[in-house]
Structure 1
């Protein structure tokens, strides 16, 4: 996620991004997109905003080494790590965010805790995509919906692509058509005032092709399977959170 943030912010103006990592290979990956790279964690003390983008079990170790001052903003991206856990271990102002990898292309969906969020953090999130502000107790749900959601979407795109290939399309052609169709559908949901059900109705002409396909989906357990996938991801997020409550 850290790399996705760096790549996304590189597409905007107004941010001087310093990438900090002990792994020099990781720094090499983001070097073309960062103003500076360093292995010195002390460099974080000079920043207005610091983003922790590590696996949950690494958060306590990073916080032990991170000497931030009052007035700085610390944004955490780690799944299951509560804002309170981090807040108790730093003098900085803490904001918890659950983004996704589409930050790299500035198409991110993110959830941010209502408590602690600032206009500066809102500006960063707005620059990288869409975001919603939620209470801390809904962050596990958000983790499942938008944090894990891209994998679920990739799975569905692959299924539509494979159906196209089975019908005779070239795999590359089928992938472009499937992926762009999902992208366009998502943009329509975000920009159109109609509900998802109303949009489905708008696409489904009586006795047309789409309604035939939708009848198959309506008669299947596809929606239940998707809900089960989200529920499983949410459960795992809550399990992780149990180790980092404060």
Structure 2
């Protein structure tokens, strides 16, 4: 069992707590000053605490707080060279975190699917075998360069919200066609889930898979013609670009820190 702790049990922190616990490979200390946040993850934690020094006793310490309080947390957090600090604070450079700790520093951008162990994460830093196994316990990860973290934040960190938007759009189309909401949402969400698994497991490209689904003169090609003639791809690209810009703005706040 790997001793882990998560400092900050908001949406992302609590998702990590839950996913790590569900893997069965970790003891998890959940740390937050908000008693309600701790109560929400109590069933998925070995221990809940408001004491950051307790969280600092773990082998792997996640700092899952908002960027504007990262510095205050790092000031209080005393770790040694044989520990690993994993920062998930959006826009906070690895170099900034390293200046505050003797621990090995890994920076990741996960997403909320860590709760169901389906996380997509971008990771940068010296990823030890133990950290690789830990990330595998809660989903899939891509190892990238620090300079690529802003775009990764937009793609997989913000991406779930974009996907939720598209699932809801398909759900509403189903409801408009006569399905009840629960039926339509199940069909739409499971379709996204299955399509995602196919992309990950199949050697064919997205374009090739589209062709595989589109029978000549069939229903799918009729719908795809509408998408191809629209600006849907540009709208998605614009959403990703906007999220990337915001990540860069957050990072700029730490340039002179």
State which of 49, 56, 59 in structure 1 corresponds to 2:67. 56
Distance in 2, Cα, partners of 1:35 & 1:67:
21
Deviations 1:160-212 (A, max 9, x none): 00000000000110000000000000000000010000000000000000000
For 2:24 and 2:164, the matched residues in 1 are separated by: 30
Equivalent residue number for residue 127 of structure 1: 137
Match of 1:36 among 14, 33, 47: 47
Q: Quick one: which of 116, 123, 132 aligns to 1:105?
A: 116
- Report deviation, 1:116: 2.1
List alignment gaps of at least 5 residues for structure 2: 1-11
Q: Which residue does 2:230 correspond to in 1?
A: 220
What residue number does 2:6 align with? none
Secondary structure in 1 matching 2:143: strand
TM-score (norm 1): 0.98
RMSD of equivalent CA atoms: 0.8
Q: Matched residue of 1:131: which SS? A: strand
SS at 2:27 equivalent? coil
Q: Quick one: distance in 2 between partners of 1:213 and 1:14?
A: 45
Q: Secondary structure at the match of 1:79?
A: coil
1:147 maps to 157
TM-score normalised by structure 2 residue count: 0.94
Which secondary structure state, in structure 2, belongs to the residue aligned with residue 11 of structure 1? helix
Alignment equivalent of 1:159, drawn from 169, 172, 175 = 169
Q: In the alignment, what sits opposite 2:8?
A: none
The unaligned stretches of length 5 or more in structure 1 are none
* Counterpart for residue 252 of structure 2: 242
Contact map agreement 1:76 1:96 (CA 8 A) in 2: yes
Match of 2:27 among 16, 39, 46: 16
Counterparts of 1:116 and 1:189, CA distance in 2: 28
SS of the equivalent of 1:216 reads helix
**Which residue of structure 2 lines up, in the alignment, with residue 46 of structure 1?**
57
Aligned length: 245
Q: Conserved in 1, the CA contact under 8 Å of 2:30 and 2:55?
A: no
CA distance in 2, matches of 1:9, 1:46: 17
**TM superposition shift of 1:45:** 2.8
SS in 2 for 1:70: coil
